Chain A
Amino acid sequence: MKIAVMSCIHGNYEALNAVLSDVDNHNVDKIYCLGDLVGYGPHPNAVVEMIRALDIPTCQGCWDEDIVEGLNACECSYPSVLAEKRGKLAHEWTNQIIHPEVREYLAQLPLSLRDDNLCFVHGSPHNQHEYLLPEVDAFVAMERVLATGADILFCGHTHVPYVRSLNEGQLQIRVKSTGKLAEDMSFSAPLKRIVNAGSVGEPRHGRPNATYVIYDTNDDQITLREVEYDYQKTCAAIIEKGLPPIFAWRLARGMEFAERADDPTHVCER
């Protein structure tokens, strides 16, 4: 069975359409979406309507949650004062334009999805705002996967796709309790993987192309897909809809609009 996993569409309808066409061309049996349907981009309602119309199983992203609950991000969401101001502008714009039924849909999205030995989350199993960067400490990475009970953890949120294999992990721990001698324990962790699907609508890899992932359960093959689309249309819509023009400039260069985690040691405290 072939499974397509996409994430972080961010109201970019043109990019979503291009990815769905690419999915069609690869005989995919099932699609999962890891959230962040809205935020920054000019077509949040259209994106949600498309995902709903295709009945794509979707988990809730941090932007989806913020539109429902209000802004409540950890400091890791905003690397600078400027990024925070831009993020708030985008949030306010999206909050005004979003349809009530779209907000209701976003509110009921689950935080994670399971399919046999696969788990799907937006940021990490801990919460939607936590970044699982490729450089994150191996122990932390392994803990996040083990917490799900799955063999492969699919996530998004960083907007940069990657596959990380955690194999032949040897864990050593020391258990100390009052009145007892410390006990050393060691055990081996089985092969686990983290697969980041990148971003459909707000790539951060230096090109404007959308990214997503195809996983083939038959041969255990993971393929990172990069899809060209008419990003100029999205850029024009950003300006036409009254979003900050700098969003269009940055999208055209494959740069993040505002959010960007750069500290792999940061544990989200939200």
Chain B
Amino acid sequence: MGFQIDLTSLILPDQMADCRRVAVLPPGTRHTEWQGWADVVVTGVEPGVALSQPHLWRSVLSGQVLDPASLNTFWYELTHGAYGTVQRAKGIFDVADGRSLYFDFVAGLAETTYLELNLPLWCNGRPDRFSGIEVVGEALDQEAIAEIIKACCLEDHVIAYYQQQLRESVGEGIGSRE
């Protein structure tokens, strides 16, 4: 962990009193930059997958709308090793029914956490808000991952079709968060 984070960028805000830096590290972690940075070190659980050459892959997907069934297939394949060993994967995805979904996978834990973000349903055009994916793993087939994500994305006319239905249902008071 931590190989992609610049610790000097983690600055505690001055206005918060009595703050301490806390690092949760895997058992047996010694002599890392985290020990020097943290005021308190907490021993966490063993990582589900030990990586010898960890790699981070990320992609911004803002403006893309994904087909939910395709996203489920892709996520299953990704987190079960179809595109390399995955230790951690997180994503925020806009899907066809207007929702923004958060996916969080940790190797060794039983299930991916799925969360519907508390954001308005996006009913008009391509979403103008952040979405993206980040994967930490080893021997990741980045090209294949990017290709599959692209295949999960909907074209303009399909998005327009779903959003038309969405506007009608929201107009009838179904599915509205207002």
Chain A interfacial positions (CB closer than 8 Å to B): 79-83, 85, 245-246, 249-250, 253
Residues of B within 8 A of A250 (CB): 77
Residues of B within 8 A of A81 (CB): 67, 69-70, 151-152, 154, 158
Contact with A along B149-163 (1 / 0, CB 8 A): 001101000100000
A79 to B152, CA, bound (A): 12
A245 to B147, CA, bound (A): 13
Known A-B contacts A81-B152, A82-B148, A82-B152; the reply to A249 vs B67 at CB < 8 A is: no
CB of A80 within 8 A of CB of B82, answer no
Most buried by B among A81, A83, A245: A81
Q: Which residue of B lies closest to A256 (CB)?
A: B73
CB of B74 within 8 A of CB of A82, answer yes
Known A-B contacts A246-B77, A249-B77; the reply to A82 vs B67 at CB < 8 A is: yes
- The one of A80, A245, A246, A253 that contacts B67, using a Cβ cutoff of 8 Å: A80
CB of B77 within 8 A of CB of A80, answer no
A83 to B67, CA, bound (A): 11
CB of B77 within 8 A of CB of A85, answer no
> How far, in Å, is A17 (CB) from chain B's closest CB?
27
Chain B interfacial positions (CB closer than 8 Å to A): 67, 69-70, 72-74, 77, 80, 82, 144, 148, 151-152, 154, 158
CB of A85 within 8 A of CB of B151, answer yes
Residues of B within 8 A of A83 (CB): 69-70, 73
Most buried by A among B144, B148, B151: B151
Residues of B within 8 A of A246 (CB): 77, 82, 144, 148
> How far, in Å, is A176 (CB) from chain B's closest CB?
34
Residues of B within 8 A of A80 (CB): 67, 69-70, 72-73
CB of B77 within 8 A of CB of A79, answer no
* 28 A-B contacts (beta carbon < 8 Å): A79-B69, A80-B67, A80-B69, A80-B70, A80-B72, A80-B73, A81-B67, A81-B69, A81-B70, A81-B151, A81-B152, A81-B154, A82-B67, A82-B69, A82-B70, A82-B148, A82-B151, A83-B69, A83-B70, A83-B73, A245-B144, A246-B77, A246-B82, A246-B144, A246-B148, A249-B82, A250-B77, A253-B80
> How far, in Å, is A81 (CB) from chain B's closest CB?
4
Residues of B within 8 A of A249 (CB): 77, 82
A245 to B143, CA, bound (A): 13
The 4 lowest CB-CB distance pairs between A and B, nearest first, are: A80-B69, A82-B70, A81-B67, A80-B70
A82 to B144, CA, bound (A): 13
Q: Which residue of B lies closest to A81 (CB)?
A: B67
A253 to B152, CA, bound (A): 22
Residues of A within 8 A of B152 (CB): 81-82
Q: Which residue of B lies closest to A86 (CB)?
A: B151
Residues of A within 8 A of B144 (CB): 245-246
A249 to B77, CA, bound (A): 9
> How far, in Å, is B69 (CB) from chain A's closest CB?
3
A219 to B155, CA, bound (A): 56
Residues of A within 8 A of B82 (CB): 246, 249
Residues of A within 8 A of B70 (CB): 80-83
Q: Which residue of A lies closest to B158 (CB)?
A: A81
Residues of A within 8 A of B74 (CB): 82
Residues of A within 8 A of B154 (CB): 81
> How far, in Å, is B159 (CB) from chain A's closest CB?
12
Q: Which residue of B lies closest to A248 (CB)?
A: B82
Residues of B within 8 A of A82 (CB): 67, 69-70, 73-74, 148, 151-152
A6 to B152, CA, bound (A): 34
Residues of A within 8 A of B80 (CB): 253
For the complex with contacts A81-B69, A81-B151, 10 further pairs of A-B residues with Cβ separation under 8 Å are: A79-B69, A80-B69, A80-B70, A80-B72, A82-B69, A82-B70, A82-B73, A82-B148, A82-B152, A83-B73
> How far, in Å, is A182 (CB) from chain B's closest CB?
36
